Amino acid sequence: MRRTALHTKHCEAGAKMVPFAGWEMPLYYRDGATEEHRLVRRSAGLFDVSHMGTFEIAGKGSLDFLNRMITSGVHKTDVAMSGYGLLLNEQGNIIDDIFLYHTEEYLWTLVVNASNLEKDWDWLNSHRGDFDCTLTDVSEGTSLIAMQGPAVIACLEGLSGEDLSAWTRFGIKEFVLEGIPFRSGRTGYTGEDGVEIFVASEQAAALWNILLDQGGKQCEIGPCGLAARDSLRFEAGFPLYGHELNETVAPPEALLKWACDFESDFIGKSPVEELIKKGLTRKLVTFKLIDKGVAREDYEILSARGDLIGKVVSGLYAPTVDLYCGNGFVPVAFAKAGTEIGISVRGRIKKAEVVKRPLYRPAYR
Amino acid sequence: MLIKYAKSHEWAVKSGDLYLCGLSNYAQEKVGDIVFVELPEVGKTVKQGEPFGVIESVKAANDVYSPLNGEIVEANQKLEDEPELVNSSPLGEGWICKIKMSDSSFDNLMNEEEYKAFQEEQDD
């Protein structure tokens, strides 16, 4: 099991550590996942996401290469900006969902899911061919810290003494705090404003301390684990690879058509276009349970008549909206908000209803 | 009042003619935030050591086992809206059900001291 540079910090803070994608990661700390979720919605939370992979793509051919590999029309991402995109296979299904930072004119930083790191690495390398660019896996030396919540930007202003009012969503900015340099994107996965930080691994623990201790003088802030990260992203309607996304799911089925720029020539474009033309047969939906209970992954989704129509891919209690809810793929005939469905919870059918997404509208929109 | 514990981490304590049952403090700490409790069915005959309810934590569903042989007489309806009471007050307001014991199965349970030793064994 691999450990991040912040492992000792988590243990000291009383985290419950669990295996995740080959890493030992904090699931929650002393106050528990629900309180961490609420802390991020009301003020600020700090997440260690160093398990995620970081690749650098450099060289004059990097733009053309990335435009071929990533769905989102990478050429539209200016220097010092970032964006969400997908890697698709030739069948138009999702290999991974990624975040791409345009660091310098000929330098891009790609953040991939921990569980897909090797797969993505091999996929990208096998397509690099004649593109004039290099690909480097810098995951080992790079730690990733997400600082999320409505108080984060003001807190960073206090810590850095800088006016951050011109810093837009998805923009990249360099900081130095107490001699520690780090890059950060105004991005996140919680539905709150905030930043995602790249810092050299040997300085990660020191920065973590500064953000909690000095940051704690600016605003209420605390460490948060993977459980809160999951419930926060769920409410905001963000997909999690291995749940809403996998290699049998095409972007429109997962409601990610918006992440595809059909004017670009990305791998997997034609099958996705064909699917859209032909019409979808199934679609991702969010549901809420009317009979209380927790829908877990792989539980069956039934029509009101009792026919099996799909399976749950994510399910939980969502603290901010105070709902027992989940996501699943169902035939499009059942995808409309208001549709009555059933979830089979350990042999008992619980009444549920398809609801409008997202449950929680990101505060920065 | 004598409290006794099952190896599956439920407690039972005599209360009038009935036994009050719940989840131990040790177990609630282990499972983390409890978000839903599927209560035992009132009127149901239960057997010591057999599952009679479910505690859903943030990440998993955990069976709860009957600490006694007998019949469920009452379930703590308050947990339907406030499952977190099992975390905040596992031996008090977070009780799960009342059982009418049909035999002397209470005697099979561990006393406080034995349960403490058992926990230490579990943590090793």
pLDDT tens digits, A77-129: 999 999 999 999 999 999 999 999 999 999 999 999 999 999 999 999 999 99
Test the B interface: residue of A292, A298, A320, A350 with most B CBs within 10 Å: A292
- How far does A115 lie from chain B, in Å, by closest CA? 19
Contacts of B75 in chain A (CB under 8 A): none
SS (H, E, C) B34-98: EEEEECCCCCCEECCCCEEEEEEECCCEEEEECCCCEEEEEECCHHHHCCCHHHHCCCCCCCCEE
Q: What is the pLDDT of residues A124-146, one digit of tens each?
A: 999 999 999 999 999 999 999 99
Between CA A179 and CA A166 the distance in angstroms is 24
Restricting to B residues 56-95, those with a Cβ less than 8 Å away from any Cβ of A are: 56, 58-61, 80, 84, 87
Q: What is the pLDDT of residues A307-349, one digit of tens each?
A: 999 999 999 999 999 999 999 999 999 999 999 999 999 999 9
Residue of B nearest to A316 (CA): B58
CB under 8 Å, gap of 24 or more: what pairs does A211-214 form? Answer: A211/A46, A211/A145, A211/A147, A211/A159, A212/A46, A214/A159, A214/A177, A214/A178
Give the mean pLDDT of A261-278.
98
- How far does A206 lie from chain B, in Å, by closest CA? 29
Contacts of A316 in chain B (CB under 8 A): 35, 58
Identify residue A76 by its one-letter amino acid code.
Answer: K
Restricting to A residues 113-152, those with a Cβ less than 8 Å away from any Cβ of B are: none
- Does the pLDDT value for residue B1 go beyond 80? no
- Does the pLDDT value for residue A14 go beyond 80? yes
Q: What is the pLDDT of residues B74-118, one digit of tens each?
A: 999 999 999 999 999 999 999 999 999 999 999 999 999 999 999
Give the mean pLDDT of B42-71.
96
Contacts of A227 in chain B (CB under 8 A): 32, 58-59
Give the three-state DSSP class for A336.
Answer: coil
Between CA A249 and CA A209 the distance in angstroms is 40
In this prediction the ipTM stands at 0.90
- How far does A203 lie from chain B, in Å, by closest CA? 31
Provide the residue count of chain B. Answer: 124
Domains contained in chain A, CATH given: 7-52+141-235 (3.30.1360.120), 53-137 (3.30.70.1400), 237-355 (2.40.30.110)
Give the mean pLDDT of A257-269.
98
Percent of chain A at pLDDT > 70 equals 100
- Does the pLDDT value for residue A365 go beyond 90? no
pTM value > 0.90: yes
Among B32, B61, B80, the residue with its CB nearest the CB of A32 is B32
Percent of chain B at pLDDT > 90 equals 95
Contacts of A324 in chain B (CB under 8 A): 35-36
Among B38, B58, B61, the residue with its CB nearest the CB of A227 is B58
Alpha-carbon separation of residue B115 from A133, B6, B67, B106, B111 (angstroms): 63, 8, 13, 14, 6
What the block records as the tokens of A53 is 């992979």
The answer to whether A232 contacts chain B (CB < 8 Å) is no
**In CATH, what is the architecture of B3-103?**
Beta Barrel (2.40)
Q: What is the pLDDT of residues A233-257, one digit of tens each?
A: 999 999 999 999 999 999 999 999 9
Backbone angles phi, psi at A19, to 5 degrees: -75, 135
The answer to whether A292 contacts chain B (CB < 8 Å) is yes
Residue of B nearest to A18 (CA): B59
* Interface contact flag, B87 A32, Cβ < 8 Å: yes
Name the residue ranges covered by the structural domains of chain B.
3-103
